[in-house]
Chain A
């Protein structure tokens, strides 16, 4: 397949399609990384993760649905790791269950904010599960909704991390 984005690892889709035939997703619109408006030490940071981490007591992500779950959860950035849990079938969660920071480095980011390395944290981080078979729905709903929420939180840096 022709690589259409410099942001993708070469050959990534070929590997995916060996395991899941027909899952080819083409993206022709190259989206350049945004430049920082001000120094990191003065910027509020939001963390967006596909790890399926969520506050305890919230409705678990739907890992059974064959086409995926297109909802996200707000994770208060002041959370203690013990207040969070993971609902996700498709990656090994053993390490992350021992230490949430392995997959969602919430304590490390809190430390960086306290030390002034980053300007601060947005009130919420954002989490969803990455097993979604409808990329158009994901882009049209989930991605748009997270982007709006991130912007509404006054985010100046958004750190995106796949599980």
Chain B
């Protein structure tokens, strides 16, 4: 999908087009695979927290407080790929 297509969708409030693009991006052109990848990332984010291990809250707070919105959104995409890679179920043809 072109950037214009996505910006038009934002202007029109057409979130279905936007989330479809995210699924296609994360699923390498396969929307259903992208949907599963999103679920997989959330499961991988949940698992290490179940035993409530110590985490670096100060780092998280400082990062969220000091970094700009675009950088944090970018980080969100990076964290998605980090988490699905940790899951061991790597669907992509290439490498990060």
The answer on a CB contact under 8 Å between A23 and B28 is: no
The answer on a CB contact under 8 Å between B5 and A89 is: no
- For the complex with contacts A22-B17, A89-B92, 13 further pairs of A-B residues with Cβ separation under 8 Å are A21-B1, A22-B2, A24-B2, A60-B96, A64-B96, A65-B74, A66-B21, A66-B77, A87-B96, A88-B94, A88-B95, A133-B1, A134-B2
The answer on a CB contact under 8 Å between B28 and A89 is: yes
Across-interface contacts of A21 in B (CB, < 8 A): 1, 5
Docked CA distance A25–B2 (Å): 8
Question: With A66-B21, A66-B77 in contact, is A93–B93 under 8 Å at CB?
Answer: yes
Q: B6 at the A/B interface (Cβ < 8 Å)?
A: yes
Interface size on A, residues (CB 8 A): 28
Docked CA distance A103–B25 (Å): 23
Q: Which secondary structure dominates where chain A touches chain B?
A: loop
Across-interface contacts of A52 in B (CB, < 8 A): 94
Pairs A–B under 8 Å by Cβ, sample size 25: A19-B29, A20-B29, A21-B5, A22-B17, A52-B94, A64-B77, A64-B78, A64-B80, A67-B3, A86-B94, A87-B95, A88-B94, A88-B95, A89-B92, A89-B95, A90-B92, A90-B93, A91-B94, A92-B94, A93-B94, A93-B95, A134-B2, A134-B3, A135-B2, A137-B3
Q: A40 at the A/B interface (Cβ < 8 Å)?
A: no
The answer on a CB contact under 8 Å between A63 and B94 is: yes
The answer on a CB contact under 8 Å between A89 and B93 is: yes
The answer on a CB contact under 8 Å between A66 and B5 is: no
Q: Which of A12-29 contact B (CB under 8 A)?
A: 19-25
Docked CA distance A72–B28 (Å): 22
Residues of A whose CB lies within 8 Å of any CB of B are 19-25, 52, 60, 63-67, 86-93, 97, 133-137
Docked CA distance A149–B95 (Å): 27
Q: Hey, what's the 0/1 contact readout for B53-96 against A, CB within 8 Å counting as 1?
A: 00000000000000000000010011011000000000011111
Docked CA distance A33–B93 (Å): 33
Docked CA distance A97–B6 (Å): 34
